[in-house]
Chains A and B, each alone.
Chain A
Amino acid sequence: MTAWKTRRSPRLGPFGMRVLFWVLVELWVLNIADLLLTRYSLWLGFATESNNVMSYFFHTGEVPAGVFKIGIVTVGTLLLWRLRRYRTALFAAALLAGVFAAVVAYQALWVLSL
Chain B
Amino acid sequence: MPEPLTPTGTTPAPHLGAQPLTQGAQPRRRRSEAWALLFAALVLLVGAAVGTVGFLAEQATANWRPHIARTQTGWRITEARMLGLSGLALCDGHLAWQDGASILLLDLRSGKAKLLGPGSQALTTWQPAISERYVVWFEGRQAGALSAGAWTYDIATRRRSQIATVGDVLSLPSVSGARTVWCTSGNARSQIVGVDLTNGKGFVVASEYGQPAIDGSLVAWGRSAGGGPSTFGIVDLTQDRSWTVVPSGLGGSGSLTGFDLSGRTLVWGQQDAQTGVGRIVAQNVDTGATSVVAEDARMATAPSVDGDAVVWGEQTPDGAAYQVMGRRLSGGPSFQIARVDGRIQTALVSGGTVAWLVRNFAAGGPAWIETTRLPR
Q: Which A residues have a C-beta under 8 Å from some C-beta of B? A: 14-15, 18-19, 21-23, 25-26, 30, 43-46, 48, 94, 97-107, 109-110, 113-114
Contact = CB atoms under 8 A, between A and B. Distances in A.
Interface stretch (B30-38, B270-278, B295-303): B30-38
A52 to B, nearest CB: 15
Nearest to A22: B40
A104 B120 contact: no
B336 interface: no
A110 B114 CA distance: 12
B53 to A, nearest CB: 9
A43 to B, nearest CB: 7
Given A44-B158, A46-B160, A114-B114, A19 B51 contact: no
Given A19-B40, A23-B43, A101-B46, A106 B158 contact: no
A21 B32 CA distance: 13
Nearest to B120: A48
Contact of A15 (B35, B59, B114): B35
Interface residues of B, number: 27
Nearest to A113: B59
Given A26-B40, A45-B161, A105 B114 contact: no
Q: Which 4 A-B pairs have the closest CB atoms?
A: A101-B47, A105-B51, A45-B160, A22-B40
A13 to B, nearest CB: 10
A14 B25 CA distance: 14
B333 to A, nearest CB: 45
Contact of A26 (B43, B114, B120, B160): B43
B39 interface: yes
Nearest to B59: A113
A64 B23 CA distance: 49
Nearest to B161: A45
A105 B48 contact: yes
Given A46-B160, A97-B43, A101-B46, A18 B51 contact: no
A6 to B, nearest CB: 23
B5 interface: no
B186 interface: no
Contact of A99 (B47, B114, B162): B47
B36 A105 contact: no
Contacts of B160: 44-46
Given A26-B44, A44-B160, A103 B39 contact: no
A30 B40 CA distance: 12
25 contacts: A18-B32, A18-B33, A19-B36, A19-B39, A22-B37, A22-B39, A26-B43, A26-B44, A48-B120, A97-B40, A97-B43, A97-B47, A98-B43, A99-B47, A101-B50, A101-B51, A102-B47, A102-B48, A102-B50, A105-B51, A106-B51, A106-B52, A109-B51, A109-B52, A114-B114
A82 to B, nearest CB: 19
Given A105-B49, A109-B51, 8 more contacts: A23-B39, A44-B158, A97-B47, A98-B43, A99-B47, A102-B51, A102-B54, A106-B52
B159 interface: yes
A102 B53 CA distance: 9
Contacts of A15: 32, 35-36
Contacts of A99: 47
Contacts of B45: 101
A81 to B, nearest CB: 14
B43 A103 contact: no
Contacts of A25: 40
Interface string B38-77: 0110011111111110110001000000000000000000
